Structure 1
Amino acid sequence: MPAQPAEQLDDRWIRVGGITLFVLLTGYAYKAYEHPFSVQTAKILSESLINSAITWEVDRWIIMHFQRRFPLLKQVRTRLLFVIPLCWAFNILQDWAMMWLVDVTNFHAPYSRAAYLQTIQSGLIITFLITGIQEAVYYFSRLLQAERETEQLKKENLQTQLDSLKQQVNPHFLFNSLNTLSYLISEDAEKAEEFLDEMCKVYRYLLRNNENELTNLATELQFIRSYFHLLKTRYGDSLHLNLAIEPSDEQRLLPSLTLQLLVENAVKHNVIHKDHPLTVHISTQNNGQLTVKNNLQKKVQKVASNQVGLSNIASKFSLLKQPDIKVQQTETEFLVTIPLIQPSH
């Protein structure tokens, strides 16, 4: 699944601390503590401050660039293969540029040839130090992001369970189903038995749907056939279901009850009449997407909605790091396209 870059932690104090550390190390290397503070010392420390700030900020920019390109924690080796040589090369060139500028301006005592060569080693040490700190910041950013998303997913799952529970005991759906069953018992015992069997399948699935976060399309279709059978028995020829599913897509995954929510949404918000039948099409495309569409014939009187259906589905796919669902409405149709998830083996 495609990964999203981690939200960067506020590392201002880490950067300030790191730059300050470099300046203090410069003062220690020049043994500034052994002599009274002088103009020469001030120049050396100011040079170190500017050089350290530029080095840290540019190295940080390089590191963050490759963190965005290779955001996974398991890609750390790939990131380092790019980051370390680039940062090392920049650090050496930055030191040489600063030293050359000092020499040509006589800012303080000129640098020796050995000092220039020493930057090759010190540049590598600084590269490892900055890279290690920034990668640690990134690692904790990813951990915090994962923890937040896990908590959000738990809340979404809890909301789904509550919504599912409401559906399980939905008085309107249950009343209509029982009313239809009562009518069939007196009119057609065979159809009543078939209706009761499908009704049991529907409620059995609803009771078990929260055991797994994802289910395969084949299982969802099996459930939607039973669910639609109940609706069809009630609405008759006023309601139709067309399925055009590629067999190769049946083992792909999607969040449980996705199809039920989409079908329920179509039935809830559209007129269903023998003169204006409602047709729901469920199909898959070659690009691994599934589309649920229906002819648009909105009810004149607005139906009360808690906005759970589409927003719940959208949240699920977002938390699963999947592409966004697409909702389209034309003058004649309402379409929802969702990505099917390739199972991991």
Structure 2
Amino acid sequence: MRPASGFKRIGKFIWLSLFGRWIFLLLIPWFVPTISYLLIGEPYLESFSNFIWGTLMVLLMTTLAFIPHDWAVQYIADLYPSIHLSAKRAGFTVLAFCLLTGVYISVYVMFIIRFRPLNAELSTDGVIKVYLFEFFAILLLTCLYEVNYSLKKWKEIKMNKEAIKKAGLQGQLQSLKSQVNPHFLFNSLNTLSALITDEPQRAERFVDEMAKVYRYLLQTNEHELTDLATEINFIRSYYHLLRTRYDTGLVLHINVDDVALESFIPPLTLQLLVENAVKHNTILEKNPLTIEITSLESNLLEVKNNVIVKSTHVRSTQLGLANINAKYQILSARQPVISAGPDYFVVLLPLLTEKPVNQ
């Protein structure tokens, strides 16, 4: 068995984080002999046997004390995971370390004074030195843990930005493919041509809304999130194009409160869901396809449409829904919930209340 493999197994057995195992390994050569000398005094160096037994005794004490310290670090990191909370995380780490170290060192000092193993000579000055040395170790450990955590979070953010960019490009490409294809352009130009002849004012409005749609599609990939108000305005323009084509066969209801409008979602999320509804359902004036966008409690947005099965099966690639899920997996711990029933197709989207600082 290789040393590294054995080291990992020992770390897992005593339940230390990976970084905690390396920190513990780095502590042994200098921390254990130093604190052994401070606790035992001159007898620690009087004989080789005293040195070995004293080192093993303090190593056991150090191990028992280090494990809960590492647990405390992991617990505090879970409570304050943001990279922008470094000061608060470090402060609570120092506090937790001081409390734990104070308890353990007090117990060990009382043990040394009471039983005097290896003829230990621990004076009052020695006790003070032990506590001062431990405080120095606390500050050092806190710095090492915080630097490691911040570097790891920075790498995660960098990787997430790349993943977001890739997902955004895929979403933008899919949106452009679904809009800028000969079939869509043919229908749009036919609609525009008819409007120019019969209703020039509507034709002008149609061109304005189309320009808004394309401008949003081309610019939206610059950001990981967009506020819901902006996305809703885009959907109104997108719906205008669809409504002009399908007339009363397509209906959109938007019922979103002002608080929800200030929240954030990945851009083009609503467009992908509206497009998905239009693609997979029959649109008839006597039985319109109705899409409802409604804000709910618990920072949720419901996108719901009635199901009107097409006579000819449309193959679903699931790319739109997969794209939405991929973005939410990177941006939030909360994920969309999809409910596909015989009468309605419902998607619950978490609304994000904080926009990344780097936007």
Fold agreement, TM-score > 0.5:
yes
Residue 266 of structure 1: how far off its partner (Å): 0.7
Structure 1 match to 2:5 = none
Say yes or no: does 1:13 pair with 2:32: no
Contact kept, 8 Å, 1:60 with 1:130, in 2: the verdict is: no
Structure 1 match to 2:330 = 319
Instruction: Give me the TM-score of the superposition, normalised by structure 2.
Output: 0.79
Q: 2:144 aligns with which of 133, 138, 141?
A: 133
CA distance in 2 between partners of 1:329 and 1:75 (Å): 40
Say yes or no: does 1:338 pair with 2:349: yes
Residue 293 of structure 1: how far off its partner (Å): 0.7
Q: Which amino acid aligns with 2:178?
A: Q
Equivalent positions of 1:94-113 (< 5 A) are 94-101=104-111, 107-113=117-123
Change (3 A) 1:103 1:197: closer
Structure 1 match to 2:250 = 239
Q: Which amino acid aligns with 1:169?
A: V
Structure 2 match to 1:59 = 69
CA distance in 2 between partners of 1:300 and 1:260 (Å): 24
CA distance in 2 between partners of 1:32 and 1:168 (Å): 83
Residue 341 of structure 1: how far off its partner (Å): 4.1
State how many pairs are aligned. 337
Q: Which amino acid aligns with 1:230?
A: L
Q: 1:22 aligns with which of 17, 31, 39?
A: 31
Q: 2:266 aligns with which of 237, 255, 260?
A: 255
Q: 2:94 aligns with which of 62, 84, 93?
A: 84
Equivalent positions of 1:1-345 (< 5 A) are 10-26=19-35, 38-101=48-111, 107-114=117-124, 115-184=126-195, 191-285=202-296, 287-299=298-310, 301-321=312-332, 323-342=334-353
Local SS of the residue matching 1:274: coil
Instruction: Give me the TM-score of the superposition, normalised by structure 1.
Output: 0.82
Provide the alpha-carbon RMSD of the alignment.
3.3
Stretches of structure 2 lacking an aligned partner (at least 5 in a row): 1-16
Residue 213 of structure 1: how far off its partner (Å): 4.0
Residue 141 of structure 1: how far off its partner (Å): 1.8
Stretches of structure 1 lacking an aligned partner (at least 5 in a row): 1-7
Change (3 A) 1:285 1:167: same
Residue 203 of structure 1: how far off its partner (Å): 2.7
Change (3 A) 1:175 1:104: same
Residue 105 of structure 1: how far off its partner (Å): 6.3
Kindly, what percent of the aligned residue pairs are identical?
A: 35
User: C-alpha deviations, 1:44-99, integer Å up to 9, x for none?
Assistant: 11112212222222222222222222223443443344433442343243234345
Change (3 A) 1:193 1:97: closer
CA distance in 1 between partners of 2:236 and 2:146 (Å): 51
Change (3 A) 1:191 1:91: closer
Change (3 A) 1:289 1:86: closer
Local SS of the residue matching 1:272: coil
Q: Would you identify which runs of 4 or more consecutive aligned residues in structure 1 move more than 6 Å?
A: 31-35, 103-106
Local SS of the residue matching 1:108: helix
